[in-house]
Amino acid sequence: MIELVLEDIWSPIVFILVILLTTLVAYLLYKMGNPVYNRTKHKGEPFISGNRPPKDIRKIHVAGDNLFWGFTDALKNYFEPLVKSHTGKLNDYLYWVVITLAVVLVYIYMAV
């Protein structure tokens, strides 16, 4: 007998069935929508808050750096030292190993 429930707390099969059922209901509601809607009008045109789309298609795309700029800028006091500590220098990598060794050895000597 295949175990379908994980530790009596979670069954992905039930979850997927619920998703399928919900999708079916959504589809039925969609089918009840306005049948005279013109599907071809504005098809494929991006909507940028009412602004006219730029001619260069690349300018429509939001680049990687832009996406969480607000988040990282607001938390720059955390991010700046964190990024700076990743120097890429081998000496620093070894310092971190030595520091961790020292801390863990002292802790194990005291606590274990």
Candidates 28, 32, 36, 108; binder of other proteins (CB under 8 A) is: 108
Alpha-helical segments (H) within 1-112: 12-31, 64-67, 69-74, 76-85, 90-111
Q: Is 49 exposed, middle or buried (0-12, 13-18, 19+ CB in 10 A)?
A: exposed
Residues 63-102, one symbol each (x = binds other proteins by CB under 8 A, - = not), give xxx-xx--xx-----xx--xx--x-x-x-xxx-xx-xxx-
Q: Closer to other proteins by CB, 31 or 58: give it.
A: 58
Is-contact 87 99, C-beta < 8 A?
no
Q: CA 95 to CA 111: how far, in whole Å?
A: 24
Interaction site with other proteins (CB under 8 A): 2-7, 9-13, 15-16, 19, 46, 57-58, 60-65, 67-68, 71-72, 78-79, 82-83, 86, 88, 90, 92-94, 96-97, 99-101, 104-105, 107-109, 111-112
